[in-house]
Amino acid sequence: MDGLNGFDADLGYLALALPFIAAVLAPLLTRVMKSHAAWLLALAPAGAFWIFLSGLREVAEGTVHRFGFEWIPSFDIDFSFRLDGLSLIFALLITGIGTLIILYAGGYMKGHKDQGRFLSFMLMFMGAMLGLVLADDLMTLFVYWELTSITSFLLIGFDHTREKARRGAVQALVITGGGGLALLAGFIVIREVTGLTSMSDILAAGDVLRQSAAYLPILILVLCGAFTKSAQMPLHVWLPNAMEAPTPVSAYLHSATMVKAGVYLLMRMQPALGDTTLWMTILPAFGGVTLVMGALLAVRATDIKITLAYTTVASLGLLVMLIGVSSETAIIGATLYLIAHSLFKGGLFMVAGSVDHGAHTREIDKLGGLARSMPVTFLAAMLCALSMGGVTPFIGFLAKEEIYHAVEYADPYYIAIAAAAILGNALMFAAAFIVALKPFVGSMPAEIHDPHEGELRIWLGPLVLGVLSVVAGLYYGVYHEFFSSPMASAAYGEAVEIEIGWVPHLNLAFALSMATIALGIAIYVGSAALRAVLSRMLAAIGWGPDMGFDQAMRGLVRFASKVTNLIQSGRLDYYMTTVVVAVVVALFASMWLADGFPEMPTIPQIKIYEWIVLGLILLGILAVVIAKDRLTAIVSLGIQGFAVALIFMLQGAPDLAFTQFMVETLSVVILALVMTRLKLSPADHRPLREKLPDALLALAGGAGFGLFLLAVIQTPFDSTLSDFFERYSYAIAHGRNIVNVILVDFRGVDTMGEIAVVMTTGLAVLALIRIRVGRRGERTIDPLEKTP
């Protein structure tokens, strides 16, 4: 790969690997050092953060680093990465917040018996997320994308003894994993249509994509991936249910990072797929609905973690809506909001965890008056909430101002978007203070005993994020130069300058901002009443996407069991009939389609002893048909087999004859042994009308094979292969027995596969024989079976 000037690619690989290395070490370290292991493990994301930070200045100047290597060259698939403004800022958020989260988890999960496993999963997720945002090659991106789904499944289901946690985990996996498959299909269509395999190439070929006939399917598939991951209505249901996970997971995966993966993908592909009517309709429609509905549900929720989860849904809706607008200001607004949201929402989730930790409840009605006993947490909560509410000089204010600049046009399209933004933001303002203010002020309910501040690691994270939210707002020049501008430029596709500052100017955007805050305060004051109204409305509707998910899953299971019952009858004779019918159809259909029925063969000179052998064969078959019981039939089948072996012998194929003898002997022995095992009735007592179809099928099978073989020997013989083997068998393989030389040398790989099959069959048969039919018909494996 070229383009490696300055930034050290080796360090890039190291940064990508560090979280995984730490994930492997986590269980061991935690066993030795208990919760102090988190201090050491946090060095991994911190180191990665430092490595990415070193690329900051170059990237701010517009450099794009690409590094990677060939992965599957035959499919043109690379394992490659792209470091530009968008991926760098994401990487910094992931590793930076990740460091704080690992420390927080060390304090939060202190004394938990599975802390090592938990930290390991968290770090694995971090590695997956880092790879996702840095990936350049589409398949690399997809692999990391699915890895985030899997690690998120493990984390949500961490407390796997609780049914709700398991359900949340499965739901998240089904929805995000399903979206991931749609994304894979989308990537494959992109490859098929354009031949492009990396983001860098795709970004350069936006026009080709937009004008391609496959633009619509590509867009739908990519949006399926992005919308499931970033929880757009009605696929958002997994996100509130993911709150079953321990709070560090919610703070990290379900606010700051993983749910942003969809937004990341949209920002990444905006220059290539965006700016079309479809894009500018679908995204704002879904985003707007998600924003308003999510914010309403946030105010309705009584658990502060669920409130935060729904504000996250709403924020993701806002981001998708803005990316859909596609204008320069809208993209800048989305960028500013994304960074601000990662900081304040990560912080607020940690605050919610601290409140839960200190007061042992998350129900908003049962919380109050904690400010005195948890002052640092209260301070951090207020800083984050002020940023979330969009109050100057916090970065949340910069974001909101820019968003309102993007929509201040007197056009129905923009008015609708502005209305959604104002309503959503006002509701989120109220939600922010419900979570960050309400638990700390007022009188403390009597149920709360001995609330206490957590240790350093518990309050450090939210405090740092809160302080950063205000520092970045105050020093907005530096913030824009190094962070928001490079990111927005990459997402917009052209270099952009951001000027928005914390000093308010009297203009329309500021007026909208003030209106939002006023509306937000009103909602906060009336939140109890609003909650009651919303609850009654939802109860009246009585159905939601969450219930729909359960219904869909139940339907799927029922469908699967119906299909299985249909094709797996469990009756051996049905299976055999199916196989024989398939063979007969294949034989006759291929001869019929290729017009390959054999001509009437001329009867060759047959010697007297050959007639005798043929007679033996017929005698054997006759004996099989008229045999009174099954055992006699099996032995009679052997007569026919031996006679065939004799023919091989007479025709000069001793190898074949030899093998045929042995196979016949062994199959008669084994069949006879099976007969004694199966407790079948000794004879077939079915009436003729039931036997007749089987007989006809057997005749058809025999006729099919006979005709097919005749047709084969009537085609001219191509002796290329036999000439080759005759010439080279002794010359290069030192063997005169061509059959054996082919088996062990020329076609050795085939033989290797075959003996593996023989062995597997042996194992399978052994397992079948060992299954005993229990008394009540249940099949069990006998644990006392001796294995010498």
Partner 1 sequence: MRTIIFRFTAPYLTSLMVLFSIFVLLRGHNEPGGGFIGGLIAASAFAIYGIACGVAPVRRALYFHPMTLAGGGLILAVLSGVLSIVFGIEFLTGLWAFPTFLGTEVALSTPLFFDIGVYLVVVGAISTIALALEEREDD
Q: If binding is defined by CB under 8 A, does position 743 make contact with partner 1?
A: yes
Question: Quick one: 609 or 730, whose CB is closer to partner 1?
Answer: 730
**Nearest to 253, CA basis, from 286, 269, 230, 228:** 230
Q: Which of 758, 773, 774, 780 binds partner 1 (CB under 8 A)?
A: 758
Q: Which of 589, 761, 773, 774 binds partner 1 (CB under 8 A)?
A: 761
Question: Quick one: 111 or 788, whose CB is closer to partner 1?
Answer: 788
Query: Cα separation of 531 and 417, whole Å?
Result: 25
Strand-pairing partners, residue 303, are: 363
Q: Which stretch binds partner 1 (CB under 8 A): 237-245, 542-550, 668-676, 702-710?
A: 668-676
Render 283-304 in DSSP notation, one character per residue: HHHHHHHHHHHHHHHHHH-SBH
Q: Which stretch binds partner 1 (CB under 8 A): 71-79, 539-547, 629-637, 653-661?
A: 653-661
779-781 vs 65-72, strand pairing mode: unpaired
Q: Which stretch binds partner 1 (CB under 8 A): 177-185, 272-280, 393-401, 664-672?
A: 664-672
Question: Quick one: 205 or 656, whose CB is closer to partner 1?
Answer: 656
Q: If binding is defined by CB under 8 A, does position 499 make contact with partner 1?
A: no
Query: Cα separation of 744 and 752, whole Å?
Result: 9
Question: Quick one: 276 or 751, whose CB is closer to partner 1?
Answer: 751
Q: Which of 658, 683, 712, 774 binds partner 1 (CB under 8 A)?
A: 658
Q: Which stretch binds partner 1 (CB under 8 A): 215-223, 269-277, 448-456, 650-658?
A: 650-658
Q: If binding is defined by CB under 8 A, does position 735 make contact with partner 1?
A: yes
Query: Minimum distance between the CB of residue 774 and partner 1, rounded to whole angstroms?
Result: 14
Q: Chain-centre distance of CA 522, in angstroms?
A: 42
CB-based contacts of 475, cutoff 8 Å, min separation 6? none
Q: How many residues does the chain have?
A: 788
CB-based contacts of 363, cutoff 8 Å, min separation 6? 302, 303, 304
Query: Minimum distance between the CB of residue 755 and partner 1, rounded to whole angstroms?
Result: 4
- Other residues' Cβ atoms within 10 Å of the Cβ of residue 127: 27
Q: If binding is defined by CB under 8 A, does position 579 make contact with partner 1?
A: no
Q: If binding is defined by CB under 8 A, does position 756 make contact with partner 1?
A: yes
Question: Quick one: 711 or 739, whose CB is closer to partner 1?
Answer: 739
Query: Cα separation of 366 and 445, whole Å?
Result: 6
Q: If binding is defined by CB under 8 A, does position 783 make contact with partner 1?
A: no
Q: What are phi and psi of 615, to 5 degrees?
A: -60, -40
Query: Cα separation of 579 and 569, whole Å?
Result: 14
CB 482 within 8 Å of CB 378:
no
Q: What are the CA-CA distances from residue 81 to residues 127, 198, 243 (Å)?
A: 14, 9, 32
DSSP 605: P
Q: Which of 63, 212, 361, 659 binds partner 1 (CB under 8 A)?
A: 659
Q: Which of 544, 748, 774, 780 binds partner 1 (CB under 8 A)?
A: 748
Q: If binding is defined by CB under 8 A, does position 737 make contact with partner 1?
A: yes
Question: Quick one: 683 or 758, whose CB is closer to partner 1?
Answer: 758
Q: If binding is defined by CB under 8 A, does position 771 make contact with partner 1?
A: no
Q: If binding is defined by CB under 8 A, does position 652 make contact with partner 1?
A: no
Question: Quick one: 629 or 655, whose CB is closer to partner 1?
Answer: 655
Residue 780, helix vs strand vs coil: strand
Query: Minimum distance between the CB of residue 720 and partner 1, rounded to whole angstroms?
Result: 22
Q: Which stretch binds partner 1 (CB under 8 A): 202-210, 382-390, 444-452, 673-681?
A: 673-681
Query: Cα separation of 115 and 729, whole Å?
Result: 64
Query: Cα separation of 60 and 35, whole Å?
Result: 38
Query: Cα separation of 580 and 589, whole Å?
Result: 14
Question: Quick one: 550 or 726, whose CB is closer to partner 1?
Answer: 726
The b/e string for 607-630 (b: 16+ C-beta within 10 A; e otherwise) is eeeeeebeebbeebbebbeebeeb
Query: Minimum distance between the CB of residue 130 and partner 1, rounded to whole angstroms?
Result: 36
Render 724-760 in DSSP notation, one character per residue: HHHHHHHHHH--S-HHHHIIIIITHHHHHHHHHHHHH
Q: Which of 495, 662, 696, 773 binds partner 1 (CB under 8 A)?
A: 662
Angle between helices 328-359 and 260-273 (to 10 degrees): 180
Question: Quick one: 562 or 736, whose CB is closer to partner 1?
Answer: 736
Question: Quick one: 607 or 736, whose CB is closer to partner 1?
Answer: 736
Query: Minimum distance between the CB of residue 753 and partner 1, rounded to whole angstroms?
Result: 11
Query: Minimum distance between the CB of residue 639 and partner 1, rounded to whole angstroms?
Result: 18
CB-based contacts of 646, cutoff 8 Å, min separation 6? 613, 616, 657
Residues 360-399, interacting with partner 1 (CB under 8 A): none
Q: If binding is defined by CB under 8 A, does position 769 make contact with partner 1?
A: yes
Q: Which of 722, 740, 773, 780 binds partner 1 (CB under 8 A)?
A: 740
Q: If binding is defined by CB under 8 A, does position 751 make contact with partner 1?
A: yes
Q: If binding is defined by CB under 8 A, does position 755 make contact with partner 1?
A: yes
Query: Minimum distance between the CB of residue 112 and partner 1, rounded to whole angstroms?
Result: 42
CB 370 within 8 Å of CB 358:
yes
Q: What are phi and psi of 638, to 5 degrees?
A: -65, -35
Q: Which of 505, 607, 685, 734 binds partner 1 (CB under 8 A)?
A: 734
Count Cα neighbours of 640 within 13 Å in the Cβ-side half-sphere: 16
Amino acid at residue number 133:
V
Q: Chain-centre distance of CA 65, in angstroms?
A: 27
Q: If binding is defined by CB under 8 A, does position 773 make contact with partner 1?
A: no
Q: If binding is defined by CB under 8 A, does position 763 make contact with partner 1?
A: yes
Residues 675-714, interacting with partner 1 (CB under 8 A): 677
Query: Minimum distance between the CB of residue 743 and partner 1, rounded to whole angstroms?
Result: 6
Q: If binding is defined by CB under 8 A, does position 650 make contact with partner 1?
A: no
Question: Quick one: 604 or 652, whose CB is closer to partner 1?
Answer: 652
Q: If binding is defined by CB under 8 A, does position 670 make contact with partner 1?
A: yes
Question: Quick one: 33 or 739, whose CB is closer to partner 1?
Answer: 739
CB-based contacts of 5, cutoff 8 Å, min separation 6? 63
Q: Which of 552, 669, 696, 709 binds partner 1 (CB under 8 A)?
A: 669
Query: Minimum distance between the CB of residue 209 and partner 1, rounded to whole angstroms?
Result: 43
- SS3 sequence, 134-193? HECEHHHHHHHHHHHHHHHHHHHCCCCCCHHHHHHHHHHHHHHHHHHHHHHHHHHHHHHH
Question: Quick one: 74 or 676, whose CB is closer to partner 1?
Answer: 676
Q: Which of 70, 192, 629, 655 binds partner 1 (CB under 8 A)?
A: 655
CB 355 within 8 Å of CB 481:
no
Q: If binding is defined by CB under 8 A, does position 195 make contact with partner 1?
A: no
Query: Minimum distance between the CB of residue 680 and partner 1, rounded to whole angstroms?
Result: 14
Q: If binding is defined by CB under 8 A, does position 726 make contact with partner 1?
A: no
Amino acid at residue number 779:
R
Q: Which residue has the tokens 């090592």?
A: 116
Query: Minimum distance between the CB of residue 716 and partner 1, rounded to whole angstroms?
Result: 29
Query: Minimum distance between the CB of residue 630 and partner 1, rounded to whole angstroms?
Result: 16
Tokens describing residue 503: 């000093």
Q: Which stretch binds partner 1 (CB under 8 A): 13-21, 128-136, 517-525, 762-770?
A: 762-770
Binding residues (CB under 8 A) for partner 1: these are: 654-655, 658-659, 662-663, 665-666, 669-670, 673-674, 677, 733-737, 739-741, 743-745, 748-749, 751-752, 755-756, 758-759, 761-763, 765-766, 769-770, 787-788
